[in-house]
Structure 1
Amino acid sequence: MKAIGIVVEYNPLHNGHVYHAEQSRLATGADVIIAVMSGNFLQRGEPAFVDKWTRTKMALASGVDIVFELPYRFATGNAPAFARGAIELLDAAGCSAFCFGSEDGNMEPFQNSLQLIGRHRDEYEAAVKYAIAEGLSYPMALNKAYETILAGQSAVPVADLSKPNNILGFHYMEAAQSIGSSMDAVTIKRMGAGYHDETLDSQKIASATGIRKSYFGSETLDDVVGFIPEATRNLLLEWQSERKGFGNWESFYPFLRFIILRDGPSRLRTIADVSEGIENLIFRAAQSQDSFKSFMDAVKSKRYTWTRIQRMLTHILTGFTKDMRADMDKPAYLRLLGMTNEGRSYLNVRKKNLPLPLISKVASFSDPSLDMDITASDIYALGLGKGTDESKIGLDYLQSPIMADHFGSKSFK
Structure 2
Amino acid sequence: MKIVGLITEYNPFHNGHKYHIEKAKELTGADYVIAVMSGNFVQRGTPAITDKYARTMMALNNGVDLVFELPVCYSTSSAQYFALGAVSLLNHLGIVDYICFGSECGDIDILMKAADFFINSPDNLQNLIYTFIKEGYSYPVARAKAAEYILSPDEKEKNADLLKIISEPNNILGIEYIRALRLIKSDIKPLTIKRYKAGYHDTTIYTDTAETSDGESKPSISSATAIRNVLENPEMIKELPIIKSSVPEWVYDYLTKNYNITYPVTIEDFSSVIKYKLLSESKEELETYLDLSSDLADRIKNTDLTQSNISKLSMDIKSKNVTLTRIYRALIHVLLNIKTETIKEYIANDIIYYARILGLRKEASHLVRMIKKHGDIPVITKVANAYRQLDSEGMSMLNRDIFASHLYNQAVYDKFKTVILNEYKHGICIL
TM-score clears 0.5: yes
Aligned residue type for 1:239: N
Q: Secondary structure at the match of 2:365?
A: helix
Q: Secondary structure at the match of 2:198?
A: coil
Does the 8 Å contact 1:21/1:33 carry over to 2? yes
The alpha-carbon deviation at position 131 of structure 1 amounts to 2.7
Deviations 1:103-144 (A, max 9, x none): 111212112223333443424334324333444332222222
Write out aligned runs for 1:323-402 (5 A).
323-329=341-347, 330-366=351-387, 367-386=395-414, 390=418, 392=420, 395-402=422-429
Question: In structure 1, which of residues 295, 304, 322 is the aligned counterpart of residue 313 of structure 2?
Answer: 295
Aligned residue type for 1:322: T
The alpha-carbon deviation at position 240 of structure 1 amounts to 1.8
Aligned residue type for 2:179: E
Distance of 1:259 and 1:238 partners within structure 2? 35
1:35 counterpart residue number: 35
2:217 counterpart residue number: none
Gaps of 5+ in 2: 209-219, 388-394
Distance of 1:298 and 1:288 partners within structure 2? 13
Deviations 1:314-357 (A, max 9, x none): 01111222333233221111111011124312222331221111
Distance of 2:67 and 2:39 partners within structure 1? 11
Does the 8 Å contact 1:265/1:283 carry over to 2? yes
The alpha-carbon deviation at position 364 of structure 1 amounts to 1.4
1:64 counterpart residue number: 64
Q: Secondary structure at the match of 1:100?
A: strand
The alpha-carbon deviation at position 371 of structure 1 amounts to 0.4
Question: In structure 2, which of residues 170, 177, 180 is the aligned counterpart of residue 172 of structure 1?
Answer: 177
1:408 counterpart residue number: none
Does the 8 Å contact 1:16/1:192 carry over to 2? no
1:269 counterpart residue number: 287
Match status 1:108 vs 2:109: yes
Distance of 2:152 and 2:44 partners within structure 1? 30
Aligned residue type for 2:401: D
Does the 8 Å contact 2:45/2:329 carry over to 1? yes
Distance of 2:410 and 2:122 partners within structure 1? 44
2:216 counterpart residue number: none
2:266 counterpart residue number: 248
Match status 1:205 vs 2:221: yes
Distance of 1:397 and 1:286 partners within structure 2? 39
Q: Secondary structure at the match of 2:357?
A: strand
Distance of 2:276 and 2:118 partners within structure 1? 44
The alpha-carbon deviation at position 241 of structure 1 amounts to 5.7
Match status 1:181 vs 2:200: no
Aligned residue type for 2:303: A
Deviations 1:1-47 (A, max 9, x none): 32111100000000000000000001001111111111111111011
Aligned residue type for 2:102: G
2:246 counterpart residue number: 227
Aligned residue type for 1:369: M
Deviations 1:275-318 (A, max 9, x none): 22422322443534332222122111112210010011101111
The alpha-carbon deviation at position 189 of structure 1 amounts to 0.8
User: Over aligned residue pairs, what C-alpha RMSD do you find?
Assistant: 2.0
TM-score normalised by length of structure 1: 0.91
Match status 1:80 vs 2:85: no
Shift in CA distance, 362/222, structure 1 to aligned 2, threshold 3 Å: same
Shift in CA distance, 121/395, structure 1 to aligned 2, threshold 3 Å: farther
Match status 1:155 vs 2:158: yes
Distance of 2:123 and 2:412 partners within structure 1? 45
Aligned residue type for 1:198: T
Distance of 1:241 and 1:316 partners within structure 2? 27
Does the 8 Å contact 1:257/1:286 carry over to 2? no
Comparing 378-387 and 210-219, the one that deviates more: 378-387
The alpha-carbon deviation at position 274 of structure 1 amounts to 1.6
Distance of 1:119 and 1:264 partners within structure 2? 39
User: How many pairs does the alignment contain?
Assistant: 402
The alpha-carbon deviation at position 190 of structure 1 amounts to 0.8
Q: How many percent identity over aligned positions? A: 36
Distance of 2:99 and 2:365 partners within structure 1? 20
Does the 8 Å contact 1:70/1:85 carry over to 2? yes
